[in-house]
Structure 1
Amino acid sequence: MHNTVKNLLDIENNTKIYLNKLNINNNPKIIAVSKTFKIDKILPLIEYGHIDYGENKVQEAVEKWTDIKEINSKVKLHMIGKLQTNKVKFAVQIFDYIHSVDSEKLAKKIADEQNKINKKIKIFLQVNIGDEDQKSGVSKKDVYRLASYCKKIDLDLIGLMCIPPADINPESYFEEMNKLNKTLDLTELSMGMSSDFLVAAKCFSTYVRVGSSIFGKRL
């Protein structure tokens, strides 16, 4: 068995054991964050049957995934990085999910581009849950307005996403996100990375974004 597949299975198993111990009924999907890794490193996972992959640059995703997605329609690609409006046209063609919508301008551009090619992308709103100046994301107070705008323009809004402040226990931020998600009556929640995915799973994240724990250190 290839290392990456073993790592993925370990993560799935550890998550199950951890949540069972806490008596929490949650089974988050794992987005294998494949950004910066070459396709030969990712192929064993695809061959094993893993479906969800995360990229944060549109150009890299187009170059790496166009051929694979033509052969394997099951593969789902998640845009997890900041998306500039001038890249939306290409992003909409290759991605199935966009996790980083944080403005009406970006939402409108996605709606316009997906209508042109008759495709419906699943959308997460990125929330700046720690109110950090340097981070992308809509503020907590503006998230309601943005969510209602997305629904008005007929985007398929499925949930919220966050990257909590570094070097602090993220649990309180994840709990706050879960409450916010419920208030908005959204079903999916994109939280947790290699360092904190178990805490995110405990707080009912439905998608965790795991890269280095699957693929190893980025060069």
Structure 2
Amino acid sequence: MTSYINFLNCFKAAVTSANRNVNDVELIAVSKKKSADLIREVIKMGHLSFGENQIQEIENKWVAIKKDFPEIKLHFIGGIQSKKVKSIFQHCDVIHSIDRMKLVDLFSALENQNQIAKEYFIQVNIGDEDQKSGIRISEADEFISDCIENYNLKIVGLMCLPPLDGNPKKYFDKLKGIAKRHNLSSLSMGMSGDYEVAIQSGATHIRIGTQIFGPRN
């Protein structure tokens, strides 16, 4: 997996350039549309943090993989349909895309039923784009406060997908500001095309697919 090694070196260089510690930024290898065999290659190189955006892929690939490698941390990074919440809860360790109260209610009920706690990020529609999921900027503070104060979910931070045609730093800094108001320490932001800017802006989790696994088919 030359691409993984090459990116790992770039990632470490970006963290160093930002005067940060590499242990403070979690590199999530986004393995959507990639085979279980390819994923296992990356695991055998020591990588333990992976992300998927479709629960069907998780059900098909990750049950066997996690059985063999129980130390893996699996992140769900896609939009969440209510009917898929139970399966996402069952199979994933961290959920990055909480964006409406119905999901908060559903995950909270599952935690109470199973006595199992997960970690959650609230997704903010940081560019207020009609085609994207996430809490609108104008509603973010109230929603975040409600989740933290009135539910027992472990809300660790915020997640965003900045507009493709804008300067990502502006949006990453805006997300960081919202998180700071609510004393949230984790920021899930930055992908293959803008991860260096995200790290400079304080990202604690970056989501990388193409640069680790190569182009999707």
Q: Same fold (TM over 0.5)?
A: yes
1:5-47, CA deviations, whole angstroms, 9 ceiling, x for partnerless residues?
Answer: 3134223322234224xxx567411100001101111112111
In the alignment, structure 1 residue 125 sits paired with structure 2 residue 109: no
Shift in Å, 1:122: 0.4
Question: Which amino acid in structure 2 is aligned with residue 174 of structure 1?
Answer: F
Q: Which moved more, 1:174-183 or 1:25-34?
A: 25-34
Distance 1:148 1:9 in 2: 36
Per the alignment, residue 61 of structure 2 pairs with: 64
Q: 2:36 touches 2:65 (CA, 8 Å); kept in 1? A: no
Shift in Å, 1:51: 1.2
Shift in Å, 1:54: 0.6
Poorly superposed stretches of 4+, deviation over 3 Å: 24-27
Distance 2:34 2:111 in 1: 28
Shift in Å, 1:173: 0.5
1:37-65, CA deviations, whole angstroms, 9 ceiling, x for partnerless residues?
Answer: 01111112111221110100011112111
**What are the ranges of 5 or more consecutive residues in structure 1 without an aligned counterpart?**
none
Distance 1:61 1:115 in 2: 23
Number of residue pairs aligned between Structure 1 and Structure 2? 215
CA RMSD of aligned residues (A): 1.4
Distance 2:91 2:168 in 1: 31
Q: Which moved more, 1:167-176 or 1:2-11?
A: 2-11
Question: Which amino acid in structure 1 is aligned with residue 12 of structure 2?
Answer: N
Q: Which moved more, 1:42-51 or 1:141-150?
A: 141-150
In the alignment, structure 1 residue 19 sits paired with structure 2 residue 3: no
In the alignment, structure 1 residue 142 sits paired with structure 2 residue 139: yes
1:173-197, CA deviations, whole angstroms, 9 ceiling, x for partnerless residues?
Answer: 1011111111110010000000000
Distance 2:121 2:68 in 1: 27
In the alignment, structure 1 residue 159 sits paired with structure 2 residue 179: no
**What are the ranges of 5 or more consecutive residues in structure 2 without an aligned counterpart?**
none
Secondary structure of 1:159's aligned partner: strand
Per the alignment, residue 2 of structure 2 pairs with: 3
Distance 1:72 1:57 in 2: 20
- TM-score, L = length of structure 1: 0.93
Question: Which amino acid in structure 2 is aligned with residue 213 of structure 1?
Answer: Q
Per the alignment, residue 44 of structure 1 pairs with: 41
